Structure 1
Amino acid sequence: MPKTKLLVDVDTGIDDSLALLYLLASPEAEILGITCTAGNVGARQVAINNLAWLELCSASDIEVALGSEIPLVEPLRTTEETHGPQGIGYAELDPPRRTLSDRHATEVWIDAARRHPGEVIGLVTGPLTNLALALKIEPELPSLLRRLVVMGGALNHPGNTFPTAEWNVSVDPEAAQIVFAAFSGLPEERRPLLCPLDVTERIEMLPAHIHQLAELAGCHEFEWLRAEDERGRRSTASNAVVRHVSDAVRFYLEFHQDHGQGYLAHMHDPFAAAVALHPEIAVTTPAVVDVELLGTLTRGSTIADWRGMWGREPNVAVVTDTDPAAFFSHMIGRIAALAREVG
């Protein structure tokens, strides 16, 4: 079967890391390049994380390009309290031996779309800064790409950064507004797929999922993360992928517990990655989505017009439902197979 060509733009924190592992484990995915933006951590740390995961998984031939280190207008905010000082929780990956691409992220976006017109799916799991900058250089990107998949926004759901704003959009609201506007007017089957918090906060990773990952990967050690464990406890799994995933996810579990959400972790970005490869897992609803830039209390909020009150054609297909259990079974199985292969 022909592979799905992907250009992946990330701000690699914990859930971006699992999204990357999932894509590396998916035989139907062809990653043309990984572009790095500031968000969960600074862009250069994002790049280090990407290179380190690729080396761990023996996939060091994939180009990794640095992108914007600051948002278009907003001062940069990062969230090490959510993802850890390096963005990967308690995991400690070996320093990468490879260096970054000589190309800027915008060049990678534009070159991939021009070389493979109508074939590339753009997947953005961080702020939309790099794509917004690429659009300024090549405004035909929406028609050159096969489709765009974005993890971002909160529509009929509370925000996770401000009361009504989601992290990725609120880090660079101007970039998100540029992208949503630029991708207007596309045919229904090519509208961007938007994965907002409304759905991604139902994608709850639990300790049982890590236990299942370890078992499927062939680990003999009993791998179970507990809320009562000492903070920062490290995995002893013999498999390197399982060990690092467990250490990263433990930090994320603790963060969610500290914020009253339970000993669980929302896996926003792996879900968006799965939607990019298998859109059939998502129930979608067309809507016009725009970004509030001026609101004193609502800057960075994503506003959805579900009923056509603005008189504009829908510019996105909003993911409104899925089967979380089926998604986790699929993702854990894929990453476990990669872990067995890596050893």
Structure 2
Amino acid sequence: MAPRKIIIDTDPGVDDILAMLLAFSGLPSEVEVLLVSVTYGNVDVRNCLRNVVSLFSIIEKEMAWRRAQGRPVGFDTLRQSKPLVAVGPEHPLADEMLMADFFHGRDGLGEIHTSHPHLSPADTWKALFDDAESSADPEQTAIAEELKKTDSIFTASRTPAHLEILRLLRENEPDTITIVAVGPLTNLALAAAADPETFLRTKEVVVMGGNVHHPGNMTPVAEFNTYADTIAAARVYALTSPNPHTTMPPVPPAPPGTPEGTYPPPFLNPYPPNLPERLKLSLFPLDITEQHLLTRGAFRALLSPLTTAHSPLAEWTQAFMTATFAKVESLHPVVTGDAVSLQLHDPMCTWYCMTAEHAGWKFAVDEDLRVETAGQWTRGMCVVDRRDRPKSDDADLHEVAGDTDGWVGGGKGNRLRICIDSPGRADFGAYMVKRIFGL
């Protein structure tokens, strides 16, 4: 079976790093990672990018250590195909930037770059991603060219992430690339706005986001990734509808002082009518991701022999996971010690891509879920119609009395797949660690 080609859109973040480690430790027959597109989210985009580069740097050190130890090198997927890394925007489409540094630390990884500086890459990597304005500096250009000659396991791109997504979709056959989105959906919304027909060549968009029946983790009703850019989420979800205009979010008011004729910007314009197909989008909300856990005790037991043996990856992971477990314990003091657990939101999405054919994956299909973009208390809330009314895609269906905003008929509404069960959820945490570390 051919591997599933994936793009990972990410804002690392602790569980984002675990999700990427799981994907890169896969087999070449399971997944091929074409691109890591970086966005803001858990922290600012520059720190997110540093965490991605740090990940690759540590993997290189880990592979060298395993060779020296006579161990299987692992990371077969990564060694088979070197992914691109591209950088996206610094802020949401139309809102102020929100970060989750209160949980992940100011650098996104529990302040690891301060506490363990020897595990962080030298700052020379920045020259690889400098934009055209910065790259005019001859010294920086020379550094970048020298870095490109090294045997790196990724390729840096100076093209904006959403344009790299579109390029890969154009250059590959339709329905062959899955986008795994584990951060705010700004990169995806920009790609869809720039060229919706090309964006719809995607095989599937796998999203970690939202909450259907479960409380939020950012507000009482909203999950972080959705809350961080509600307009982006609503615009991407609208592409699952037979008639995207029926669920598109309203354009927010122009900021004060906006020159006449410049608003709204193109990325907030409506989609063209008569799009060739609907987007297939599989949502992994808090309802299912919070049921997949890794306990402090299980993590410590599995990693202890590797940290004793001075595995670079074990030392690095242990450092930010120790800080994360401590943060979880401070937020939920009823659970202490080895029972403290990390919810594996993002790794679930890469696990699904690696094992999508497993019969244990269960989805509710054609769910009309929409995102609230403007509510005072409900911004970011995922709204579903719980009324007992018949629904139909029949364009000639007469509107039901009182059906405001077109929830019921006429081909209106979104059509998402929502994950409701997975294979082996009780064992996933240990399974993930064993795959990553070759245990």
TM-score by length of structure 2 reads 0.68
Partner residue, 2:283: 194
On the 8 A contact 2:208/2:346 being kept in 1, the answer is yes
On the 8 A contact 2:294/2:430 being kept in 1, the answer is no
On the 8 A contact 1:7/1:112 being kept in 2, the answer is no
Q: What is the alpha-carbon distance in structure 2 between the residues aligned to residue 277 and residue 198 of structure 1?
A: 21
On the 8 A contact 2:176/2:203 being kept in 1, the answer is yes
- Report how far residue 150 of structure 1 moved: 0.2
After the TM superposition, which of the residue ranges 68-77 and 248-257 deviates more from structure 2? Answer: 248-257
- Report how far residue 246 of structure 1 moved: 1.5
On the 8 A contact 1:213/1:242 being kept in 2, the answer is no
On the 8 A contact 2:294/2:343 being kept in 1, the answer is yes
Letter matched to residue 384 of structure 2: A
Which of the residues 222, 234, 248 maps onto 1:177? 234
**Structure 2 residue 374 is the aligned partner of structure 1 residue 294:** yes
- Report how far residue 292 of structure 1 moved: 0.5
Partner residue, 1:335: 436
Can you list the C-alpha shifts for 1:257-305, whole angstroms capped at 9, x where unaligned?
A: 2222732111100111111222334321121111001211101111134
Partner residue, 1:230: none
Q: What is the alpha-carbon distance in structure 2 between the residues aligned to residue 25 and residue 84 of structure 1?
A: 26
Equivalent residue runs for 1:11-22 within 5 Å: 11-22=11-22
Letter matched to residue 11 of structure 1: D
* Structure 1 moving runs of 4+ over 3 Å: 90-93, 185-190, 305-309
Can you list the C-alpha shifts for 1:174-230, whole angstroms capped at 9, x where unaligned?
A: 000000002334999972110000011111210133134326xx5273xxxxxxxxx
After the TM superposition, which of the residue ranges 81-90 and 20-29 deviates more from structure 2? Answer: 81-90
On the 8 A contact 1:212/1:332 being kept in 2, the answer is no
- Report how far residue 142 of structure 1 moved: 4.7
Percent same amino acid at aligned positions?
29
Partner residue, 2:347: 270
On the 8 A contact 2:200/2:278 being kept in 1, the answer is no
After the TM superposition, which of the residue ranges 77-86 and 96-105 deviates more from structure 2? Answer: 96-105
RMSD of aligned Cα (Å):
2.4
**Structure 2 residue 175 is the aligned partner of structure 1 residue 95:** no
Q: What is the alpha-carbon distance in structure 2 between the residues aligned to residue 189 and residue 248 of structure 1?
A: 40
- Report how far residue 240 of structure 1 moved: 1.1
Q: What is the alpha-carbon distance in structure 1 between the residues aligned to residue 276 and residue 352 of structure 2?
A: 19
**Measured at CA, do residues 190 and 72 of structure 1 come closer, stay the same or move farther in structure 2, by a change above 3 Å?**
closer
After the TM superposition, which of the residue ranges 75-84 and 150-159 deviates more from structure 2? Answer: 75-84
Q: What is the alpha-carbon distance in structure 2 between the residues aligned to residue 213 and residue 304 of structure 1?
A: 41
Partner residue, 2:32: 30
Q: What is the alpha-carbon distance in structure 2 between the residues aligned to residue 184 and residue 273 of structure 1?
A: 25
**Measured at CA, do residues 304 and 247 of structure 1 come closer, stay the same or move farther in structure 2, by a change above 3 Å?**
farther
Partner residue, 2:3: 3
Describe the SS at the equivalent of 2:57: helix
**Structure 2 residue 101 is the aligned partner of structure 1 residue 80:** yes
**Structure 2 residue 333 is the aligned partner of structure 1 residue 256:** no
Equivalent residue runs for 1:185-334 within 5 Å: 185=242, 191-214=280-303, 219=306, 221=308, 238-260=310-332, 262=335, 263-279=340-356, 280=358, 281-286=360-365, 287-305=367-385, 310-311=407-408, 312=412, 315-322=415-422, 323-334=424-435
**Measured at CA, do residues 183 and 213 of structure 1 come closer, stay the same or move farther in structure 2, by a change above 3 Å?**
farther
After the TM superposition, which of the residue ranges 83-92 and 64-73 deviates more from structure 2? Answer: 83-92
Can you list the C-alpha shifts for 1:91-127, whole angstroms capped at 9, x where unaligned?
A: 3432255423111001111011111121100000000
Aligned length: 321
TM-score by length of structure 1 reads 0.87
Q: What is the alpha-carbon distance in structure 1 between the residues aligned to residue 312 and residue 349 of structure 2?
A: 25
After the TM superposition, which of the residue ranges 187-196 and 58-67 deviates more from structure 2? Answer: 187-196
Describe the SS at the equivalent of 1:140: helix
**Structure 2 residue 188 is the aligned partner of structure 1 residue 131:** yes
**Measured at CA, do residues 63 and 182 of structure 1 come closer, stay the same or move farther in structure 2, by a change above 3 Å?**
same
On the 8 A contact 1:90/1:247 being kept in 2, the answer is no
- Report how far residue 249 of structure 1 moved: 1.5
Which of the pair has more CA radius of gyration? 2
Letter matched to residue 336 of structure 1: F
Letter matched to residue 244 of structure 1: W
Letter matched to residue 87 of structure 1: G
Describe the SS at the equivalent of 2:368: strand
Q: What is the alpha-carbon distance in structure 2 between the residues aligned to residue 156 and residue 220 of structure 1?
A: 40
